Structure 1
Amino acid sequence: MPGLYHHYASKQALLVAIVSHAMDDLWRRSTTALEEAGDDVRRRLDLLVECLVLFHAHRRDLAFIASSEIRSLTGEARTTYIAARDRQQRLMDHVIEDGVARRVFTTPYPREAARAVVTMCTGVSQWYRAEGEHTPQALAERYRAMVRMTVGAS
């Protein structure tokens, strides 16, 4: 059946499906990046930043809907989304906190730095355009450099 409402009971159900897909996809990509990096905290930071930037550039529309339409989610769907968003944030929190504990990163504010980094990376979906000045990969390289400065990576 071609009709959306044949597949989804309501606009809310459709939004939940979109948001769930976005968060699940980002989670899989992020955990794969961290697994690839292994125990090297600098590489974990670089690959997680790259993952976030590339996701928010390549999957811009999906990422934008997922982040901007939280206001439209209700009940359990909203609670589930917030938990998924917080779980995703904790990946960056742990990488930066680990880097500080190992004295590889020097930021005196690891939690705030982690929030700033994630906000910066997810913001790509709001402004990035494929026909713009940088490719997603070039943008990811710039973001990795900026994030290293933010956390005081040696």
Structure 2
Amino acid sequence: MADAVADLREDGHTDWREYGPLALPPILACALDLIAERGYHATSVRDLARRVGVTVPALYYHYENKQAILVELLMGSMGSALGRCRTAVAEAGHDPVDRFSALVECVVLFMTHRASLAILDTELRSLEPANRERFVAARDELEALMRRTVLEGVEAGDFTTPYPTDAGRAVLVMCQAVAQWYRPDGPLDAQQVAERYVAIALASVGHRSRPDDKRRPARSAATAAR
């Protein structure tokens, strides 16, 4: 689609911590539900048109084919996550610990509030080669952002891990897995889960507090100020 909805845009947020209900146009919303229920290959265009309540030609008016719908959802979700993460790191300032903490918090919040989109990443295998390459490039950008924040912490003496690249990758995978198990009606809300994961992530990179560091280890400075 020419004009992606806010939830599928890099700049579709005003506050990276704030989320409303997922708002997608009917075709994308129904496609997301059907793919979650049946998988991409078992979902036909006819099934989707029937679920939306339109004819197949009407659906093709908006999207060239089923692959284009999957690309819209996957690339939009990744773009939205990246946009929020860039904002989180930028707003955290220059301190490596704050930047790393904000990034971890941001990824976990996305995985809790947008779990239905995040879980769709399992359909990466269903993308055609050129589309898969685009998605992997965007995913690698997020991994690079995480890697840079860990390296910054190591260089500043705040993180002691001898394996910054591996540690960053492990932290990112850990955060992304939250989408698989988190439930809104569980014992912890999204923010509490994010704060716990910040603490776990800081331990994973060997965070070493400075003598004058009064920050709470489970929260970034920006979060603590709220």
TM-score category of the 2 structures, normalised to the smaller one: over 0.9
Are 1:21 and 2:91 counterparts?
Answer: no
Where does residue 115 of structure 2 map in the other structure? Answer: 60
- Displacement of 1:131 in angstroms is 0.8
1:6: how far off? 3.0
Q: Percent identity?
A: 44
Once the two structures are superposed, the pairs formed by residues 62-141 of structure 1 within 5 Å of their partners are: 62-65=117-120, 67-141=121-195
Report the residue type matching 2:119 in the other structure.
F
Aligned AA for 1:118?
Answer: L
Please, which of 13, 24, 30 is the counterpart of residue 85 of structure 2? 30
Q: Which amino acid letter does the alignment assign opposite residue 112 of structure 2?
A: A
TM-score of the two chains, using structure 1 as the length reference: 0.96
| Structure possessing the higher radius of gyration over alpha carbons | 2
Moved over 2 A (4+): 1-6
* SS of residue in 2 equivalent to 1:130: coil
Which structure 1 residue ranges, 5 or more long, are not aligned? none
Provide the rounded CA distance (Å) in 2 between the counterparts of 1:119 and 1:4. Answer: 35
Q: CA deviation at 1:27?
A: 0.9
Aligned-partner Cα distance in 2 for 1:139–1:4: 39
Q: TM (normalized to structure 2)?
A: 0.66
Q: Does 1:146 align with 2:200?
A: yes
Corresponding residue for residue 9 of structure 1: 64
Higher fraction of helix: 1
